[in-house]
A and B are shown apart, each in its own frame.
Chain A
Amino acid sequence: MTDFLQALISGLGVGSIYALLAVGFVIIYKSMQVISFAQPALLVTGAVMVSYLRFDFGLNFWIALPLAMVLTALLALVIERLALRPMIGKPVFVVAIITIGVDIAVRVVVNRFIGLGARQVGDPWGLTIRRLGAVVVQERYLWMMLITAVVVSLLFAFFKYSRVGLAMRAAAFDQETALAQGISVGQVFALSWAIAGALAALAGTLAGTRAGIDQQTWVLGLKALPAIILGGLDSVGGAVVGGLAVGVVEAMVSRYQGAYFPWLGQNFSLVSPYVLMLIVLMIRPYGLFGTPEVERV
């Protein structure tokens, strides 16, 4: 039981990173109907920025992190403006491919800053361990959950109550009608990229806690894909649940697969999210939480 709870908590911790990323994907998808494959690059960019702000500029982690989020959001704004805005109205496929190009280009630059080894992000948790009864967990997992919970609740409140958040939802629902209400759809696109960029930076930094980031960290960004497929592409809540689920599945497989299914080989947990994605695609291709169509009968 202790084992199970430990696996569950670490799964939820890592899952909350996926959740943050997945929410970014969903926000961009809802506003532009495009899956942005540039998220992994933004994720590494954010983490590298924290690393430099922390060690080369000597800032406190809690100052470096928000600052890096803002800077990454600005980078995302620039990417949206230069690479994506001119492509409005072009086939979705073309735009998605462009985001792959952007991803590669940004990563090449960022990799120079990472260097060959791993870079620490200088988080305050390190190897600290917390004991909750018999359960021993790394403190950073608890922080990941807490931060994600706070950020996601803020986002929900933003979309529900703020004027701009409402405008973003309106533009996602019906662009022409939103335009007719005086909403600038260009601003909505820009804002969705900025939010997704900030979320990616946060996720990257959280992922870099303890072990640091290296040139392979970006692969983590792809784990958001199973999460959004699981939750439904157009549901922010679904993305959160999907992210957490993927994290938990991964942790459980990594904990128990060796004992029960040794013939699957080592590190099967790394592919388990994609197996989950395949299963979901086969039985519920629209995801668990795809928005139900509102229709009068």
Chain B
Amino acid sequence: MLAVKNLEVVYDDVILVLRGISIEVPEGKIVALLGANGAGKTTLLRALSGLLGVHEGDITKGEITLDGKPIHRRSPAQIVGLGIKQVLEGRRVFAEFNVEENLRVGAHTNARAAKHNMERVFALFPVLKDRRKATAGYLSGGEQQMLAMARALMSEPRYLLLDEPSLGLAPLLVQQIRDLIVEINRAGTTVLLVEQNANMALSIAERGYVMETGKIVMDKPAAELLDDEDVKEFYLGLGAEGEKSFRDVKHYKRRKRWLS
């Protein structure tokens, strides 16, 4: 189990971004992490994968444990070696490389099994097999997202951290990506899914966390979250006030505070 306890992260020594976050990602499950822009979702993923240093971020309190052992002082390369891999937001494929080279880079920590794993991800993403010699930068957005996920899978991670895989994709592609995530999970990889698309994330997740300004404000099974009035209103756009008259809506009422 991957667990975060009371994690506090500060950027540039001054900006407090995570204020005591605790989440648990049990093995074999899909866990969704929702939240508005700037809530700290990506920062949490960076803390998990050790990439805070690139952004001048620092863990000031709390700990991250993998099966009970603290990992938050490890380097990104060590964390990948332990089987935790992040797919960065915005796909970030190596645009100048071809598809196969991208996958080989993904197999960096596990080069021996690269051949076997390449067959495995090609079976999962047949589109990539057809375009294995194509320059990655010229793939479509959906293909690039698949490539980014495939690249991460090349090192056989136990935990896959996905940062907004549906970003900028057409609804049909979002569905396809969603099905792929389910398939990856079924093959034995635990998934922590950060999403703006709450509907998609909660439909496949077992459990969901909602973050706001650096705190976890909700922590429920995904099905309950889908039914929650606040989540409906703020993430699914199914709020009750569409039916209200605008005369009744005072703007300060709209400023929702969680846990108040």
Q: Contact residues of A with B, CB < 8 Å?
A: 89, 163, 166-167, 169-170, 173-184, 291, 294-296
**Contacting chain A: which of B76-84, B118-126, B239-247, B248-256?**
B76-84
List the A side residues contacting B92 at CB < 8 Å.
Answer: 174, 176-177
Answer whether residue B96 sits at the interface, using C-beta atoms and an 8 A cutoff: yes
A-B CB pair tally, cutoff 8 Å: 79
**In the complex, what residue of chain A is closest to B49 when comparing beta carbons?**
A180
Known: A179-B51, A179-B77, A182-B76. A174 touches B104 (CB 8 A): no
Q: Are A183 and B54 in contact (CB under 8 A)?
A: no
A19 to chain B, nearest CB (A): 22
Q: Are B77 and A182 in contact (CB under 8 A)?
A: yes
Known: A180-B76, A291-B96. A166 touches B104 (CB 8 A): yes
Tell me whether chain A's interface is mostly helix, strand or loop, or mixed: helix
List the B side residues contacting A174 at CB < 8 Å.
Answer: 92, 94
Known: A166-B104, A175-B54. A180 touches B96 (CB 8 A): no
Which of under 10, 10 to 19, 20 to 34, or 35 or more describes the interface residues of B? Answer: 20 to 34
Query: In the docked arrangement, what's the CA distance between A264 and B101, Å?
Result: 51
Of the candidates A167, A175, A291, which one forms a contact with B105 in the assembled complex, judged by CB atoms under 8 Å apart?
A167
**Contacting chain A: which of B106-114, B167-175, B197-205?**
B106-114
**In the complex, what residue of chain B is closest to A164 when comparing beta carbons?**
B108
Answer whether residue B215 sits at the interface, using C-beta atoms and an 8 A cutoff: no
Q: Are B51 and A173 in contact (CB under 8 A)?
A: no
Known: A169-B97, A294-B135. A180 touches B108 (CB 8 A): no
Answer whether residue B138 sits at the interface, using C-beta atoms and an 8 A cutoff: yes
Q: Are A295 and B97 in contact (CB under 8 A)?
A: no
List the A side residues contacting B86 at CB < 8 Å.
Answer: 180
Query: In the docked arrangement, what's the CA distance between A187 and B53, Å?
Result: 16
Query: In the docked arrangement, what's the CA distance between A208 and B128, Å?
Result: 51
**In the complex, what residue of chain A is closest to B87 when comparing beta carbons?**
A180
Per-residue contact bits, chain B 61-95, to A (CB 8 Å; 1 contact, 0 not):
00000000000000111001100011110001011
Of the candidates A89, A294, A296, which one forms a contact with B96 in the assembled complex, judged by CB atoms under 8 Å apart?
A294
List the B side residues contacting A175 at CB < 8 Å.
Answer: 54
Answer whether residue B41 sits at the interface, using C-beta atoms and an 8 A cutoff: no
A243 to chain B, nearest CB (A): 23
